[in-house]
């Protein structure tokens, strides 16, 4: 039987252990991780994937693009797809730092819990891979989206990258600390915390009595959590009259989705998994 090979092209120097484990759990027989992948060196790696197996076996080779930068991941993913021609192609998935699958799980659970259309949504620390994709998915749901960064210029840079990929520009907010982020969520209905691991972004007192906030989600599973007063295991639980989702509450769906997408990569040689269809899949599974 032809082995299912997953080539992990990571834009960081060292390929992700997380993506390797989930790749195996998703059905790959063997995972080959490359670190430091960029638009210049990816071409030869893609050639090795597309020229080595016949038409019937090509579906058992697949590419997964990961790493800590959404912009670098998008550029590599674009270069991968550009290298394909005719039936010289294999299935490919982009999920830099779990961006698509994590954001999709969080936004799909929010959408399941309540309407997002026309709501004001603030993605706290929305400049990382997860936050940038959460902004895009909230926009898909019809929310009016803002992203914060400790540095306004970084928020603007991320907003520009989102505009280039998705054709909409989230409002860029500079919010250096918890006090500034508390001001940023005033008047919003949805708060999506996408800060780096172990970084608190908002205190409980700053959302519990906020009259407009309806739902909050936090992606950071490592204490201190991103949102004070939200337990990691909360899954559409009511706290202070608001629906809250913690990082482990959304993590189960994230892992299920990630595994399922990897499994689908091997069903044919022409699958492309990125923001829109990963989000659509999350809504089916949520
Ligand atoms: N629950 C799950 O299943 C799951 C799966 C994957 C990832 N995650 C979590 O999702 C979160 C987001 O992931 P990511 O890869 O997108 O994050 P990231 O790129 O590491 O960080 C996101 C943003 O956090 C901000 N930040 C960094 N240090 C900060 C600090 N000391 N104070 C305030 N803000 C700070 C930065 O924004 P600025 O510099 O612009 O302020 C950064 O762009 C992480 O907590 C990650 O662990 C969860």
- 116 C-alpha to ligand 1 centroid (Å): 23
Instruction: Sort strands 237-239 and 120-124 into parallel, antiparallel or unpaired.
Output: unpaired
Domains of the chain with bracketed CATH: 5-98+255-285 (3.40.50.10280), 102-250 (3.40.50.720)
Probe target for ligand 1 pocket from 128, 137, 261, with the most ligand atoms within 8 Å of CB: 128
Probe target for ligand 1 pocket from 130, 177, 196, 247, with the most ligand atoms within 8 Å of CB: 196
Sequence-distant (≥ 6) Cβ neighbours of residue 134 within 8 angstroms: 103, 106, 107, 123, 126, 192, 194
Atom of ligand 1 nearest to the CA of 105: 3
- 134 C-alpha to ligand 1 centroid (Å): 12
Per-residue pLDDT at 1: 86
| Separation between Cα atoms, residue 25 and residue 261, nearest integer Å | 11
Per-residue pLDDT at 99: 98
- What b/e string do you get for 241-261 counting C-beta neighbours within 10 Å, with b at 16 or more? ebbbbbbebbbebbbbbbbbb
| Separation between Cα atoms, residue 177 and residue 277, nearest integer Å | 34
From residue 71, alpha-carbon distances to 43, 155, 175, 234 in Å are 18, 13, 22, 31
| CA 111, 112, 117, 121 torsion-angle sign | negative
| Separation between Cα atoms, residue 48 and residue 44, nearest integer Å | 6
Atom of ligand 1 nearest to the CA of 201: 33
Output the tens digit of pLDDT for each of the chain's 286 residues: 899 999 999 999 999 999 999 999 999 999 999 999 999 999 999 999 999 999 999 999 999 999 999 999 999 999 999 999 999 999 999 999 999 999 999 999 999 999 999 999 999 999 999 999 999 999 999 999 999 999 999 999 999 999 999 999 999 999 999 999 999 999 999 999 999 999 999 999 999 999 999 999 999 999 999 999 999 999 999 999 999 999 999 999 999 999 999 999 999 999 999 999 999 999 999 9
Ligand 1 binding residues, C-beta < 6 A: 97-98, 102, 125, 127-131, 149-151, 154, 194-197, 199, 219-221, 247, 250-251, 254
Q: Which residue owns the Cα nearest ligand 1 atom 42?
A: 128
């Amino acid at each position: 039987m032809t082995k299912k090979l997953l080539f992990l092209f990571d834009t960081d120097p060292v390929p992700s252990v997380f993506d390797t484990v989930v790749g195996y759990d998703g059905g790959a027989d063997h995972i080959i991780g490359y670190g430091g992948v960029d638009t210049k060196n990816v071409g030869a790696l893609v050639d090795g994937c597309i020229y080595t197996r016949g038409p019937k076996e090509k579906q058992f080779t697949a590419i997964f693009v990961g790493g800590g930068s959404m912009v670098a991941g998008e550029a590599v993913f674009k270069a991968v797809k550009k290298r394909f021609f005719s039936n010289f192609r294999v299935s490919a998935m982009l999920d830099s730092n779990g961006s698509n699958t994590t954001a999709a799980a969080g936004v799909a659970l929010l959408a399941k819990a309540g309407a997002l259309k026309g709501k004001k949504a603030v993605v706290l620390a929305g400049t990382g891979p997860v936050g940038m994709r959460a902004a895009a998915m909230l926009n898909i749901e019809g929310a009016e989206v803002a992203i914060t960064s400790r540095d306004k210029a970084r928020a603007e840079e991320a907003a520009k990258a989102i505009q280039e990929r998705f054709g909409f520009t989230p409002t860029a907010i500079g919010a250096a600390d918890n006090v500034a982020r508390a001001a940023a969520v005033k008047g919003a209905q949805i708060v999506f915390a996408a800060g780096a691991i172990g970084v608190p972004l908002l205190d409980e007192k700053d959302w519990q009595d906020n009259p407009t906030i309806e739902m909050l989600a936090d992606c950071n599973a490592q204490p201190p959590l991103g949102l004070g007063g939200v337990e990691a295991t909360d899954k559409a639980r009511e706290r202070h009259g608001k629906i809250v989702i913690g990082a482990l509450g959304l993590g189960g769906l994230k892992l299920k989705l990630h595994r399922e997408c990897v499994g689908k990569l091997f069903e044919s040689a022409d699958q492309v998994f990125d923001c829109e269809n990963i989000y659509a899949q999350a809504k089916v599974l949520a």
